[in-house]
Structure 1
């Protein structure tokens, strides 16, 4: 972990090397939209090995419980001070984690498993974040598009945030479930906010979207659903979580437990939708009407190895990783909330 500022020359060389390595390994961006740069304060360490930690944050709905924990002082209750480090993508989040610039990284599960499979890092999952709920992850198209159903996706141009992300992973899976060949698909990477306009211009035939972009695209350009990717083999599929390095989780078990307890409390509170909508308005910069119509992901906190095993198993089935990964070896001990 990087606790103090590194020297300029050494720091730049190290970050540059790690950035290049990870860029070659995986291109990943997060899903949904939310964000923030708040931090919580602590009145004391409470016996924690490391009472001040850095956690990456991305503009994702999945992080709503985390922001609740910050805003409501749940980390502070555990004697933990959290500095939020905003990152633009899962790749950037993972890069900072491996570089030792943060202690815990948020991201979709795909880049964590890719890093593990390539031997880039000894990843340990600290907490779950979300899974795909019905109609929260869709492939959409314009009403006048030739793409009317999942059967029409073969050989088409499909907008995603990046290859080997949760976006194409879910899309390939639902195509396979419907006996549609995905090998000829042209995956077109772009940020979620650009997909609606790209559909309207005809630059792509379809696009993978999560909320609130699904609702926003419907309002802005009239985009309509083609297929719900949270169905079949990927129904209730784990989408994102919080990872760290084994040396941090092994050396700071009380700190990890404090983070987990705060997240468990906030995740339970996130079941109240009225707690989430103001965060979307504040951080995702969408209007209240769009926030009210948004379909939320299913928020999770405690990690379930059997459920999470679905992710690397699907990645192996799709050829994204070559060898089976046992999730049990990647889960840090889980604290129980009293």
Structure 2
């Protein structure tokens, strides 16, 4: 049976509660049971996942005794329940989804960093997100977005939060914005046809949209802060507790691959081509993520503040408990 995202989250909470209760105090790494070395990693299947594929194709996981199966399917809303029911052991996604899940009773923990926003506004090679409008749109400045309808892939998520934060930083009241939920592949056509005023696009859809004649009016990932934390690898805290050495090994390998991906953009584009259907012309032009194995603690704290300010959560999430393992060391 297929559940809608909210129902799936509730089912996952109930399942995890039952699992934890069944395990009792005897669970964890002290129980004497052997750690698993076979991991299924749930991914979205975008450019952010390139380090995982690099590590797998180069045999780095196998060298450390791990078997990794990469499983594509949905965003974090779909991946999180699959971690709870044991279908997958590791997931990838944005920090907001992980922190929201924790406030809903799902104890997740970041185990490795994935990517941050660009380190400067001049770092165009790593600016992977923009709010775009048609070339002939009367919207020419950030202020012109006030009261407009903007498509995002998920309501109360990374897109609308960073858009609101960027506008507010620049003195534009974001309270009148209207956000509608739409899948990234459908956004360019919708904004070009005038069904929405603007769309939030990420790569590779951003480059494809610009090639189709759309133009950017706002770079929202860099709005709250440069090097703003975006993505992580995560697992349930129960899995981390029961498999500490496996988790440490996974992080060692993925950190190596993350640094490698950033230092070798041509090879990274080639591996992206192996698991996506991005046209070669777009692949060569698009910006790559600012891959990073660590997160800045102060910027994670800023994210927590913004989540409360814009009503994404009703209380500050457990930031250190969730993201602490991948803070800058």
TM-score (norm 1): 0.82
1:236 matched to 2:227? The reply is: yes
The 1:61/1:153 distance shift into structure 2, 3 A limit, reads same
Q: Tell me the secondary structure at the aligned position of residue 309 of structure 1.
A: helix
Aligned to 1:124, the other structure's residue is in SS state: strand
> Greater CA deviation, 272-281 or 228-237?
228-237
2:109 counterpart (111, 124, 146):
124
- Offset, 1:304: 4.4
CA deviations on 1:178-237 (whole Å, 9 max, x unpaired) are 222222222121111111111111111111111111111111x20111011133423221
> Which structure 2 segments of 5+ residues have no match?
13-32, 122-126
* TM-score, normalised relative to structure 2: 0.84
Trace 1:41-120 onto structure 2 (pairs within 5 A): 49-119=35-105
- Cα deviation, residue 130, structure 1: 0.6
Pick closer, same or farther for the CA change 1:230–1:19 going to 2, 3 Å.
closer
Is residue 110–residue 325 contact of structure 2 (8 Å, CA) maintained in 1? no
Deviation at 1:333, TM superposition (A): 4.7
Counterpart position of 2:132? 140
Preserved contact between residue 110 and residue 164 of structure 1 (Cα < 8 Å)? no
Q: Does 1:202 align with 2:202?
A: no
How far apart, in 1, do the equivalents of 2:116 and 2:96 lie? 13
Aligned partners of 1:309, 1:284: CA distance in 2, in Å?
Answer: 33
2:147 alignment partner in structure 1: 155
Please tell me whether the aligned partners of residues 260 and 335 of structure 1 are also in contact (alpha carbons under 8 angstroms). no
1:1-338 to 2 correspondence within 5 Å? Answer: 16=3, 20-22=7-9, 49-119=35-105, 121-133=106-118, 134=121, 135-219=127-211, 221-271=212-262, 272-331=264-323, 333=325
Query: Relative contact order, CA 8 A, sep 6+: which one is greater?
Result: 2
Once the two structures are superposed, what CA deviation does each residue of 1:260-308 show, in whole Å capped at 9, x if it has no partner? 0110111111021111111333323122221121112210113443443
Counting helix residues as a fraction of each chain, which structure ranks higher?
Answer: 2
Does the C-alpha gap of structure 1 residues 184 and 23 become closer, same or farther in structure 2, counting only changes over 3 Å?
A: farther
Alignment deviations for residues 115-149 of structure 1 (CA, whole Å, 9 cap, x no partner): 11122x11111111011124321111111112111
The separation in 2 between residues aligned to 1:335 and 1:73, in whole angstroms, is 27
Q: Point out where structure 1 has 5 or more consecutive residues left out of the alignment.
A: 1-11, 26-46
In structure 2, relative to structure 1, the CA distance for the partners of 1:94 and 1:332 (3 Å cut) is: same
What secondary structure sits across from 1:207 in the alignment?
strand
SS of match in other structure, 1:146: coil
User: How many residue pairs get matched?
Assistant: 300
Aligned to 1:36: none
User: How far has the Cα of 1:309 moved from its partner?
Assistant: 2.7
Deviates more, 1:299-308 or 1:160-169: 299-308
The Cα of 1:52 is off from its aligned counterpart by 0.6
